[in-house]
Structure 1
């Protein structure tokens, strides 16, 4: 499996070739005038008691889940796998997509599509990245005051998706 693409690399390459030559602009500059969205991937990782794994970043005052922003030409799933390897030193085969959430612009951050995947059960994760102070396992109720309200809503939906075998679409953490 490629670090850039979660599927079979040979199939991906064939799919790219099947698309034909790169699309040209009929109206010069039209593509550069389009808004740019960011995307991010994260994993809902639990311990054997069902508590959620949160990372404690050094660069912000709130907890987050393992994962991060996509790089150019990187899928959200590949970004999640890469970030988990960098942050926790773990190679995890992600499970199903649980939530796709759109979040609006927040200060310096653009609006974003956020993908949450099932990261399975890992009871002994540790921080391996200088950007992290530690990791903690908390219930969503315990984490409520230490995470953004939108992340709490998103993770509540992710747990619901995990329990039901569904995938949810949300906007700012609210199912729509």
Structure 2
């Protein structure tokens, strides 16, 4: 079944009982990222040119794009990887902060890459100044605290087979 088949099976969309209500409802930002590691378990980080902190590969979902699809699209765009990501490791709710409204961040298991991947990858210079594998504790100074907490939980979830729900990188 395709998404279009599923939407057809849903039947006609629900009608608005009070015109304009749907347009007034909040929309959450969603993003999908991949926890990619090398054979030593070091995490792959991307170094964006447009902000001072590091990230894992992934990005914000476009309209009508799932977090998984956004993650896979960004892996292709940023790293040239044509992969299907694995299981969901973490869902993290992020509160409104500055110009960014609240959102849901999804981290999927991206699996293991060859140890020399970071040195051989052709990254888009307009978006990234580099990529590198590092143990999480060596990347902490380059991450926002919430990202560091989220990644600690993702690494643990990958190891123990769990999926974790977080709020601002913390378990509840």
Instruction: Give the TM bin, normalised by the shorter chain.
Output: over 0.9
1:54 corresponds to: 45
2:18 corresponds to: 27
For residues 52 and 127 of structure 1, the distance between their equivalents in structure 2, rounded to whole angstroms, comes to 18
1:76 corresponds to: 67
**TM-score, L = length of structure 2:** 0.94
For residues 3 and 142 of structure 2, the distance between their equivalents in structure 1, rounded to whole angstroms, comes to 40
For residues 15 and 49 of structure 2, the distance between their equivalents in structure 1, rounded to whole angstroms, comes to 43
The DSSP-based 3-state class of the residue aligned with 2:146 is helix
1:128 aligned to 123, 127, 130, which one?
A: 123
**Which consecutive residues of structure 1, in runs of 5 or more, have no partner in the other structure?**
1-9
1:158 aligned to 135, 154, 160, which one?
A: 154
How far residue 167 of structure 1 moved from its aligned partner, in angstroms, is 0.2
The superposition leaves residues 6-46 of structure 1 with CA deviations (integer Å, 9 ceiling, x where unpaired) of xxxx3322211111112211001111111121000000000
How far residue 105 of structure 1 moved from its aligned partner, in angstroms, is 1.3
How far residue 106 of structure 1 moved from its aligned partner, in angstroms, is 1.8
1:39 aligned to 12, 30, 34, which one?
A: 30
Aligned length: 167
2:167 corresponds to: 171
Please tell me whether the aligned partners of residues 127 and 134 of structure 1 are also in contact (alpha carbons under 8 angstroms): no
Q: What RMSD in Å do the two structures reach over aligned CA positions?
A: 1.0
The superposition leaves residues 34-72 of structure 1 with CA deviations (integer Å, 9 ceiling, x where unpaired) of 112100000000011110000000000000000000001
How far residue 121 of structure 1 moved from its aligned partner, in angstroms, is 0.6
Q: Which 4+ runs in 1 deviate beyond 4 A? A: none
**TM-score, L = length of structure 1:** 0.92
For residues 131 and 123 of structure 2, the distance between their equivalents in structure 1, rounded to whole angstroms, comes to 10
For residues 55 and 11 of structure 1, the distance between their equivalents in structure 2, rounded to whole angstroms, comes to 32
2:80 corresponds to: 89
The superposition leaves residues 96-136 of structure 1 with CA deviations (integer Å, 9 ceiling, x where unpaired) of 10000001112111111000000001130425222001001
1:145 corresponds to: 141
For residues 107 and 131 of structure 1, the distance between their equivalents in structure 2, rounded to whole angstroms, comes to 22
**Which consecutive residues of structure 2, in runs of 5 or more, have no partner in the other structure?**
none
